């Protein structure tokens, strides 16, 4: 069934570390051979052996309307004829910035970069430059990309591979990153008091997605917002996952919270390498060339990446019903999964908001990294493979949210629920 993928994986390991260009793709935490993809259309991916899968990772978020979405493919093809990069400004970059500002609340200015990592890294530097302070607070199990400052108690692959300290991150950098448990406002207040006047920023995944999907508890973000106001701390919403996914205006809109700086990635690029950070003018004007906080990029605002993102965001802006449809589908899936999991009789938790959802095999609420990590993640591995065998491609780790795309049909969701029912019988 996976012969060609196995062959490719053997070959890949000779020239690429671990055979992959991003660690979670290696299937290391769930075991088995990573599947090499050949093509994808709508909600389906096809591997090198020609197997078809219903896709629940959507390239880890970006493909919110499904793969090879025709308007995006066409726009890229047309744009490429006019050159793929200039290294000089273009009108399209202004249109993209104006479009983003028209969709997201509370952002006066935006700077485009090429990945979510770059966006978060730059936002932190800006917060430090703006406040003249060194330390940041992040949350255990949250992932903000692979920049040094964030690889302290991080989520996603860092949690999946159980990497406690990342070699190559200097003690000095690590010491400037303070961590607290997600949803533990008192712990954050304590850190802020202990390091009074030293904290430049609090960065948070507004709805966590890198330890499975975990929702903010009522009052948590409101408390952080207040603390930041009281202490002159820059409040950063990392909306790389949630931006343009939970709502056109992202988690700021969905949760009704105003951040000082916001980072974007994934959906913003329509499947091309794009990230962005933006926020209040008062802070953003400290970025070079307006200010001295240096940040740059040879391919930032790249025309092919911009047209892909612009085309997707335009469709999302013009069709707000997409978010309603996506959420209805996700709730339908959640309810169907609930039914078969309940009948199965073993403990489980489903967390869901908008089109983000995940299952933890746990007998306690999953509200932070400790509760996510203490779930039965061995069971998740078996579940993952049982689903894969039945043509459903879930994230290959319990420490990842599933992402629904709007090309999924109710028949696909029914198949997924039926596959879960069958798979559960193999899990005991």
Ligand X SMILES: Cc1ncc(COP(=O)(O)O)c(C=O)c1O
Known catalytic residues are 143, 238, 266
Residue 140 contacts ligand X per CB under 6 A: no
State which residue has the least CB distance to ligand X. 116
Nearer to ligand X, 62 or 129 (CB): 62
Site string for ligand X, 148-187 (x = CB under 6 A): --------x-------------------------------
Burial class (CB in 10 A: 0-12, 13-18, 19+), 26: buried
Residue 238 contacts ligand X per CB under 6 A: yes
How far is residue 352's CA from residue 336's CA, in Å, rounded to a whole number?
13
How far is residue 127's CA from residue 125's CA, in Å, rounded to a whole number?
5
- In the complex, the smallest distance separating the C-beta of residue 115 from ligand X, rounded to whole angstroms, is 4
Among 35-43, 140-148, 176-184, 308-316, the segment contacting ligand X (CB under 6 A): 140-148
Nearer to ligand X, 51 or 122 (CB): 122
Q: Which of 145, 243, 301, 395 binds ligand X (CB under 6 A)?
A: 145
Residue 144 contacts ligand X per CB under 6 A: yes
83 in helix, strand or coil? coil
Residue 423 contacts ligand X per CB under 6 A: no
Nearer to ligand X, 155 or 336 (CB): 155
- In the complex, the smallest distance separating the C-beta of residue 241 from ligand X, rounded to whole angstroms, is 4
Nearer to ligand X, 207 or 417 (CB): 207
- In the complex, the smallest distance separating the C-beta of residue 262 from ligand X, rounded to whole angstroms, is 11
Residue 405 contacts ligand X per CB under 6 A: no
How far is residue 348's CA from residue 375's CA, in Å, rounded to a whole number?
9
Residue 29 contacts ligand X per CB under 6 A: no
- In the complex, the smallest distance separating the C-beta of residue 196 from ligand X, rounded to whole angstroms, is 28
Among 167-175, 202-210, 348-356, 357-365, the segment contacting ligand X (CB under 6 A): 202-210
159 in helix, strand or coil? helix
Q: Which of 29, 160, 177, 210 binds ligand X (CB under 6 A)?
A: 210
Q: Cα dihedral angle (381, 386, 387, 391), rounded to 10 degrees?
A: 130
Burial class (CB in 10 A: 0-12, 13-18, 19+), 315: middle
Nearer to ligand X, 48 or 211 (CB): 211
Question: C-alpha distances in angstroms, 131 versus 15, 108, 187, 302?
Answer: 44, 19, 22, 31
CA neighbor of 122 nearest in space, from 257, 238, 207, 256: 238
What is the total count of residues that contact ligand X (CB under 6 A)? 17
Neighbours of 215 (CB within 10 A): 18
How far is residue 235's CA from residue 228's CA, in Å, rounded to a whole number?
6
Is the alpha carbon torsion for 421, 422, 423, 428 positive or negative?
positive
Site for ligand X in 88-127 (CB under 6 A): 115-117, 120
Q: Find the helix or strand (DSSP H, E) in which 349 lies.
A: strand 349-353
Nearer to ligand X, 166 or 427 (CB): 166
Q: Which of 205, 253, 260, 327 binds ligand X (CB under 6 A)?
A: 205
User: Taking a C-beta distance cutoff of 8 angstroms, is the pair 211, 178 a contact?
Assistant: no
Q: Find the helix or strand (DSSP H, E) in which 246 lies.
A: none
DSSP state of 262: E
- In the complex, the smallest distance separating the C-beta of residue 416 from ligand X, rounded to whole angstroms, is 23
Nearer to ligand X, 5 or 300 (CB): 300
Among 141-149, 251-259, 349-357, 405-413, the segment contacting ligand X (CB under 6 A): 141-149
Site for ligand X in 256-295 (CB under 6 A): 265, 275
Neighbours of 417 (CB within 10 A): 20
Reduced to 3 DSSP states, what percent helix, strand and coil does the chain have, rounded to the nearest 5? 45, 15, 40
Q: Which residues bind ligand X (CB under 6 A)?
A: 60, 115-117, 120, 143-145, 156, 205, 209-210, 238, 240-241, 265, 275
């Amino acid at each position: 069934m996976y012969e060609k993928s196995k062959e490719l994986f053997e070959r890949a390991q000779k020239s690429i570390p671990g055979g992959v260009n991003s660690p979670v793709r290696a299937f290391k935490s769930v075991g088995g051979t990573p599947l090499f993809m050949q093509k994808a259309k709508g909600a389906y991916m096809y591997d090198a052996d020609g197997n078809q899968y219903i896709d629940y990772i959507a390239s880890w978020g970006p493909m919110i309307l499904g793969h090879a979405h025709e308007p995006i493919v066409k726009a890229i093809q047309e744009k490429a004829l006019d050159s793929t990069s200039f290294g000089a400004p273009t009108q399209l970059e202004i249109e993209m910035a104006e479009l983003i500002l028209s969709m997201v609340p509370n952002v006066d200015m935006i700077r485009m970069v090429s990945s979510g990592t770059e966006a978060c890294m730059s936002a932190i530097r800006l917060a430090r430059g703006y406040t003249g302070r060194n330390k940041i607070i992040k949350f255990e199990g949250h992932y903000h990309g692979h920049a040094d400052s964030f690889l302290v108690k991080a989520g996603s692959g860092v949690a999946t591979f159980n990497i406690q300290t990342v070699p190559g991150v200097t003690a000095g950098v690590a010491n400037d990153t303070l961590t607290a448990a997600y949803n533990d406002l008192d712990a954050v207040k304590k850190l802020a008091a202990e390091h009074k006047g030293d904290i430049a920023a609090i960065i948070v995944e507004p709805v966590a997605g890198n330890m499975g999907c975990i929702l903010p508890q009522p009052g948590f973000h409101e408390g952080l917002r207040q603390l930041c106001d009281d202490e002159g701390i820059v409040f950063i919403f990392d909306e790389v996952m949630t931006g343009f996914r939970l709502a056109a205006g992202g988690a700021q809109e969905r949760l009704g919270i105003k951040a000082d700086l916001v980072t974007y990635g994934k959906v913003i690029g329509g499947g091309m390498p794009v990230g962005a950070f933006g926020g209040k003018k008062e802070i953003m004007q400290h970025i070079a060339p307006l200010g001295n906080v240096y940040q740059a990029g040879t391919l930032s605002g790249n025309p092919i990446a911009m047209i892909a993102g612009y085309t997707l965001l335009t469709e999302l802006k013009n069709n707000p019903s997409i978010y309603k449809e996506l959420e209805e589908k996700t709730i339908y899936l959640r309810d169907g999964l609930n039914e078969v999991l309940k009948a199965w009789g073993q403990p489980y938790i489903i967390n869901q908001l908008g089109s983000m959802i995940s299952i933890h095999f746990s007998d306690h609420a999953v509200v932070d990294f400790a509760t996510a990590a203490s779930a039965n993640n061995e069971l998740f591995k078996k579940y993952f493979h049982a689903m894969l065998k039945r043509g459903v491609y879930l994230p290959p780790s319990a420490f990842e949210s599933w992402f629904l795309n709007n090309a999924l049909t109710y028949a696909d969701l029914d198949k997924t629920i039926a596959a879960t029912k069958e798979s559960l019988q193999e899990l005991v």
